[in-house]
Chains A and B, each alone.
Chain A
Amino acid sequence: MNRELRRLSLVVLLMFIALFVASSTIQVGFADQLNADSRNTRAVNDAYNVQRGSIIVGGKPIVQSTPTSDRFKWQRTYSEGPLYSAVTGYLAVNGSATGIEGAMNQQLSGTSNADFFTRVKNVITGKHPQGNSVELTIDPVAQRAAYEALGNKQGAVVVEEPSTGKILALVSTPSFDPNQLAVHDNATYLANYNRLKDAEGDPLVNKAITDLNPPGSTFKPVVSSAAFETGKFTPNSELPNPSGLQLPGSSLVIHNDTGAACQGDNGGNVSILNAQVWSCNIPFAQLGAKLGSSTIKSQAEAFGFNHEFSIPMPVSVSKYPGYDDQAELMQSAFGQQSDLATALQICMDSAGIANDGVVMQPNLVQSVITPDLDRQQEFQKQEFGRATSAQTAQTVTQMMVKGVDQGTGTNAKISGVSVAGKTGTAQNGDNQPYTLWFTGFAPADDPKFAVAVVVEDGGGLGQSGSGNSVAAPIARQVLEAVLNK
């Protein structure tokens, strides 16, 4: 029987090994994932029991934990809350956390893996745990300029440094005051939350990274890039220039914004250059048909469409789904149909072109600083990938400069600085207010700042506003502020 007993012992040993492996997997391997689960109330409860780290912008803390006498021990306070709410988010008493508060919760509460030895040290020394501070890439000048330029319009501004992907400004309006949601009294919190949830303009929805809008004509530089990348087109390649075009297999007739043939008509044809400068839909629809769905799709994806970014908050996926239907494909080439984009994505398009065709991973976190002032984590620029050749990027830049100089983006002009840009006036369906866009970068010859402005709900003008009249001035104000710094 001893032989059988030896085998049985082996089986028992295997059973125990399974338990050792499983518990290691849960407690170490997948611990981060489990701790980050939104249903895990433990992590959030913990967040209240430590002195959470600050969130720092431009060397000054904008979010801090101050001691209180109630059971939560620490009160989160947001100085200039409405200005930064799209970035910081809030930490609520019920545990829900948004923005940096949510995405960097482990670092702020000192529970990330990197804090392991600190925690052990705290256990030994009996020191109260303290979270890390998170320093952001946000430039307070850019942020304030963007917030003020948007004013009471519903929309967003994103400013990025093209060469690094650092996000310098991220504003969503109407904004809200996170202090109202960080109150410790649950009833007050719920009342404030419900009021904000139902408020006009959805202040709790992040218009910069969560809302998806049709990109409209801001998509044209992407299509131009796709065309030049094939090697078969140049800015001077010409396309037929009628004043109206019936789409194949469809009764739909599309027009340019002006309702007439595109400016710069050359004997019934118009160049890609003029089509983009004057933002004409019909030539781009025809260009889209020539390029085909997969060419445009792979170009859009190279800029970041159909990709999930985290900055480190999760960003809605901007969509270029690809089209089998010719009529749909042609409309998608000027950013309509099912094309959808976040303001951040449109900013990345410009940043990629500004950075000689290389798209950088966007990010908000400059560094994570431990209570002992060690820099636990430091921003490192990271390429998302090359979207176009440097030459294509140069060509598209020149077209965008001309667009601001004399085309549809004139309201973004800044004296003494050359600005590259593209407007967008996107339709949301019959009788729905337009989505108004401007995206670009400056200085065009040595790009330091890429910007995207989106104004939703037609900027209050229904269908009578345009990207140039509403969004371009906002972009100009922001660029002026950062360039004059």
Chain B
Amino acid sequence: MAAESNAAPARSAAPRTGFVTTMTSVVPRIRMPRRLRNLELGLLVFAFAIVVAAEVLVQLGANGRIDGSLAFFGIALGVLVFGVHVALRVTAPDADPFILPIATLLNGIGIAMIYRIDIHYGRSGWDAASVRQIVWAAFAIICALAVLVFVRNHRALQRYTYLSGLISVVLVFIPLLPVIGTANESAKVWIQLGPLNFQPGEIAKITLAIFFAGYLVQRRDSLAAVGTRILGVTFPRVRDLGPIAVLWVLTLLVILFERDLGTGLLYFGLFVAMIYVATGRTSWALLGIVALVGGAWAVDGLSSAIPKLGYVHGRFENWLHPFANAQFGSSGGSYQLVQGLFGLAHGGLVGTGLGQGQPYITPVADSDYIFASLGEELGLIGVFALLALYMIFVARAFRIGFASEDDFGKLLAIGLGFVVALQTFVVIGGITRVIPVTGLTAPFLAAGGSSLVANWIIVALLLRLSDTVRNQPRAVSS
């Protein structure tokens, strides 16, 4: 695809929207949207059956009997998810049929496991994390519905490129404000609004993806073509790179001041991946990775001098020597990591069965370590199934990226898909000792409202993008 033909429509995307819509309504539909939606409905019913079975098994395993305490909530969630399905039939009939069932299944299995932990601690009502998670899920799905209804064309988002950038910065730094910011465990990433805790950084991954996509679409040509060569690497002009660099530095400050390694890593990874896809500069991607690894080592080294960074060094030590008694016994040590590993090993190949393991031994077994809890009770087989679900989810997002004819949609789909992939990798990689533990939560599974809301909005955006991709006029320029 020639660069010229891309840049032009992107800049004038908004005015042409109406024209495109009119055109597609005239073109006879070659695809069979009903079939896509019927496939989705079938998969949704299947996902629901699995989730209901999981809940029943949890009750049988942990309580030895079945009760209907969650039935009302289950029905409510079911109605909402099918609401999304109906909304898709009306507003995005060509949307991808796999994304919604996968999100539903992951969300449901997560609730089952959170409920299982609640049973162990005897929590019920609003004390129960599962009840709160269900309410959050309802809210998240409503947000997704709203996005589907109000964002009829993803290119409208491109208009808000710089606004998104600004919102990202605000979201990232709100928790540092004195009154509403609260520190949870060691990381200062939460805000308190009345009774609700919210982690605004989760939403920022979406606004950042929008910002990067919009900005890179405008500047990718100058970023790729113009620049100064230093040591065989072409560096972009300051005015091209400026806004991105500023944002990047700001987000990296998160690591320092909010003590949140995972989120910093997530933003950084998103940035590197998107700039690589937009410009095709492998050298920048490599530079980015080198900067990350080097930065991590530097921070690790500095941590002895700057007490504030001590947590980073601790994370490294826990990662490298989790079984050393010094690590295992110390506060902020590897106790949680090792208990998670014990849990996974205890599950083995087939797992203990839902409700029959001891995942509650691991601290925060229902949020940060929910994956270890699921691994214990569902075994390696369950772990593979969950990983496969994530993989299909990301693959669907990338598929939208491949098929998309407009660069903004392409970059946005890739960015959203990659952020889910990276978050999954960082969380589960931390639990399985591929990388140091960082403190992100598994998308859709873990207890936590902000993460659910963010991920369901991603679902809505991907559904919207996939519908547009299938309806787009086939470009002849490429």
Q: B345 at the A/B interface (Cβ < 8 Å)?
A: yes
Contact B390 A16 (CB under 8 A): yes
Residues of B contacting A43 with CB < 8 Å?
Answer: 346
Q: Is the interface of B mostly helix, strand, loop or mixed?
A: helix
Residues of B contacting A94 with CB < 8 Å?
Answer: none
Q: B277 at the A/B interface (Cβ < 8 Å)?
A: yes
Residues of A contacting B358 with CB < 8 Å?
Answer: 41-42, 45
Q: A15 at the A/B interface (Cβ < 8 Å)?
A: yes
Contact A30 B345 (CB under 8 A): yes
Q: How far is the CA of A19 from the CA of B278 in the complex (A)?
A: 27
Q: How far is the CA of A45 from the CA of B120 in the complex (A)?
A: 15
Contact B361 A16 (CB under 8 A): no
Q: A39 at the A/B interface (Cβ < 8 Å)?
A: yes
Q: Which of B330-366 contact A (CB under 8 A)?
A: 338, 341-350, 353, 357-358, 361
Q: How far is the CA of A28 from the CA of B384 in the complex (A)?
A: 13
Contact B432 A123 (CB under 8 A): no
Q: Is the interface of A mostly helix, strand, loop or mixed?
A: helix
Measured CB to CB, the closest approach of chain A to B419, in angstroms, equals: 11
Q: Which of A18-61 contact B (CB under 8 A)?
A: 18-20, 22-28, 30-31, 33-35, 37, 39-43, 45-46
Residues of B contacting A19 with CB < 8 Å?
Answer: 387, 424-425, 428-429, 432, 434
Q: A253 at the A/B interface (Cβ < 8 Å)?
A: no
Measured CB to CB, the closest approach of chain A to B225, in angstroms, equals: 15
Q: B418 at the A/B interface (Cβ < 8 Å)?
A: yes
Measured CB to CB, the closest approach of chain A to B21, in angstroms, equals: 25
Contact A5 B401 (CB under 8 A): yes
Contact A4 B277 (CB under 8 A): yes
Given A12-B394, A23-B432, A28-B380, CB of A35 within 8 Å of CB of B346: yes
A108-139 contact mask (Cβ, 8 Å, vs B): 1 or 0: 00000000100110010000000000000000
Contact A8 B383 (CB under 8 A): no
Indicate the member of A8, A30, A39 with the most B CB atoms within 10 Å: A8
Contact with A41, one of B361, B411, B424, B429 (Cβ below 8 angstroms): B361
Residues of B contacting A11 with CB < 8 Å?
Answer: 273
Q: How far is the CA of A12 from the CA of B269 in the complex (A)?
A: 12
Q: How far is the CA of A24 from the CA of B432 in the complex (A)?
A: 10
Contact A1 B433 (CB under 8 A): no
Measured CB to CB, the closest approach of chain B to A340, in angstroms, equals: 25
Contact A120 B350 (CB under 8 A): yes
Measured CB to CB, the closest approach of chain B to A433, in angstroms, equals: 35
Given A1-B280, A15-B421, A39-B338, CB of A23 within 8 Å of CB of B350: no
Contact A27 B276 (CB under 8 A): no
Q: A9 at the A/B interface (Cβ < 8 Å)?
A: yes
Contact B344 A27 (CB under 8 A): yes
Contact A42 B380 (CB under 8 A): no
Q: A230 at the A/B interface (Cβ < 8 Å)?
A: no
Q: How far is the CA of A254 from the CA of B353 in the complex (A)?
A: 68
Contact B425 A15 (CB under 8 A): yes
Measured CB to CB, the closest approach of chain B to A365, in angstroms, equals: 23
Measured CB to CB, the closest approach of chain A to B340, in angstroms, equals: 9
Contact A27 B348 (CB under 8 A): yes
Residues of B contacting A37 with CB < 8 Å?
Answer: 323, 342
Measured CB to CB, the closest approach of chain A to B95, in angstroms, equals: 20
Residues of B contacting A18 with CB < 8 Å?
Answer: 425, 429, 434
Q: A236 at the A/B interface (Cβ < 8 Å)?
A: no
Q: A484 at the A/B interface (Cβ < 8 Å)?
A: no
Measured CB to CB, the closest approach of chain B to A32, in angstroms, equals: 8
Contact B350 A119 (CB under 8 A): yes
Q: A3 at the A/B interface (Cβ < 8 Å)?
A: yes
Q: A2 at the A/B interface (Cβ < 8 Å)?
A: yes
CB nearest neighbor in B for A29: B345
Contact A22 B390 (CB under 8 A): no
Indicate the member of B380, B394, B424, B432 with the most A CB atoms within 10 Å: B432
CB nearest neighbor in A for B274: A8
Q: How far is the CA of A415 from the CA of B3 in the complex (A)?
A: 106
Residues of A contacting B414 with CB < 8 Å?
Answer: 5, 8
Contact B277 A35 (CB under 8 A): no
Contact with A22, one of B280, B391, B395, B429 (Cβ below 8 angstroms): B429
Given A23-B380, A28-B380, CB of A123 within 8 Å of CB of B428: no
Q: B402 at the A/B interface (Cβ < 8 Å)?
A: yes
Q: How far is the CA of A119 from the CA of B352 in the complex (A)?
A: 9
CB nearest neighbor in B for A43: B346
Contact B375 A23 (CB under 8 A): yes
Q: B398 at the A/B interface (Cβ < 8 Å)?
A: yes
Contact A1 B425 (CB under 8 A): no
Contact B280 A3 (CB under 8 A): yes
Residues of B contacting A3 with CB < 8 Å?
Answer: 280
Given A26-B432, A27-B379, A42-B361, CB of A5 within 8 Å of CB of B402: yes
Q: B328 at the A/B interface (Cβ < 8 Å)?
A: yes
Measured CB to CB, the closest approach of chain B to A84, in angstroms, equals: 30
Contact A27 B338 (CB under 8 A): no
Q: B467 at the A/B interface (Cβ < 8 Å)?
A: no
Residues of A contacting B343 with CB < 8 Å?
Answer: 42
B418-442 contact mask (Cβ, 8 Å, vs A): 1 or 0: 1001101100110011100000000
Q: How far is the CA of A123 from the CA of B352 in the complex (A)?
A: 9
Q: B407 at the A/B interface (Cβ < 8 Å)?
A: yes
Measured CB to CB, the closest approach of chain B to A25, in angstroms, equals: 8
Contact A1 B429 (CB under 8 A): no
Contact B349 A22 (CB under 8 A): no
Residues of B contacting A20 with CB < 8 Å?
Answer: 384, 387
Q: B410 at the A/B interface (Cβ < 8 Å)?
A: yes
Given A4-B276, A16-B390, A119-B350, CB of A23 within 8 Å of CB of B429: no
CB nearest neighbor in B for A34: B345
Indicate the member of B344, B357, B407, B414 with the most A CB atoms within 10 Å: B344
Residues of B contacting A28 with CB < 8 Å?
Answer: 348-349, 380
Residues of B contacting A22 with CB < 8 Å?
Answer: 429, 432-434
CB nearest neighbor in A for B380: A27
Q: How far is the CA of A37 from the CA of B353 in the complex (A)?
A: 22
Given A1-B280, A16-B390, A28-B349, CB of A9 within 8 Å of CB of B398: yes
Q: Which of B373-415 contact A (CB under 8 A)?
A: 375, 379-380, 383-384, 387, 390-391, 394-395, 398, 401-402, 407, 410-411, 414
Known: A1-B277, A5-B414. 13 other contacts (CB 8 A): A8-B273, A9-B395, A15-B421, A15-B429, A23-B375, A23-B380, A26-B344, A26-B432, A27-B348, A31-B346, A35-B342, A40-B345, A41-B358
Q: List 22 A-B contacts (CB under 8 A).
A: A4-B277, A4-B280, A9-B398, A15-B421, A16-B421, A19-B425, A19-B434, A26-B345, A26-B432, A27-B344, A27-B383, A28-B380, A34-B344, A35-B342, A35-B345, A42-B343, A42-B346, A42-B357, A42-B358, A45-B358, A116-B348, A120-B350
The 5 closest A-B pairs by CB, nearest first: A34-B345, A22-B432, A27-B380, A31-B345, A15-B425
